[in-house]
């Protein structure tokens, strides 16, 4: 199965070298996931009119500890952590993938 996936990556990227084909596919995936995290973060920044740190400080005071507010915080925090992680992986791929 892995060989088939490598071959498919080579076909769709039109790159003969497996490493180059996989690098292109992985880079595209990472960029898509980064965009998704960015979008989620922007959604919460717009919804609350502030960044996550300020929101966290106001959670339980200005914003009640309701299910919605706590879930928003968890989703927002997850997107923020995910964004950092994905950007690190993309940077590593771009730095060492050449």
Sequence-distant (≥ 6) Cβ neighbours of residue 38 within 8 angstroms:
83
pTM of the predicted protein model: 0.85
Domain extents for the chain? Answer: 49-98
**6: pLDDT confidence band, cut at 50, 70 and 90?**
confident
For the segment 50-86, what is each residue's pLDDT rounded down to a tens digit? 999 999 999 999 999 999 999 999 999 999 999 999 9
For the segment 28-43, what is each residue's pLDDT rounded down to a tens digit? 999 999 999 999 999 9
HSE-up of residue 45 (Cα within 13 Å, Cβ side):
10
Cα gap 90→84, rounded to integer Å: 10
């Amino acid at each position: 199965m892995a060989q088939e996936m490598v071959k498919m990556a080579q076909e769709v990227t039109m790159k003969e070298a497996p490493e180059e084909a996989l690098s292109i596919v992985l880079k595209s995936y990472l960029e898509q996931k980064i965009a998704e995290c960015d979008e989620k973060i922007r959604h919460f920044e717009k919804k609350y009119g502030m960044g996550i740190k300020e929101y966290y400080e106001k959670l339980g005071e200005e914003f009640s500890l309701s299910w919605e507010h706590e879930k928003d915080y968890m989703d927002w925090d997850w997107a923020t952590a995910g964004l950092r992680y994905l950007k690190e992986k993309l940077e590593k791929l771009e730095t060492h993938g050449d």
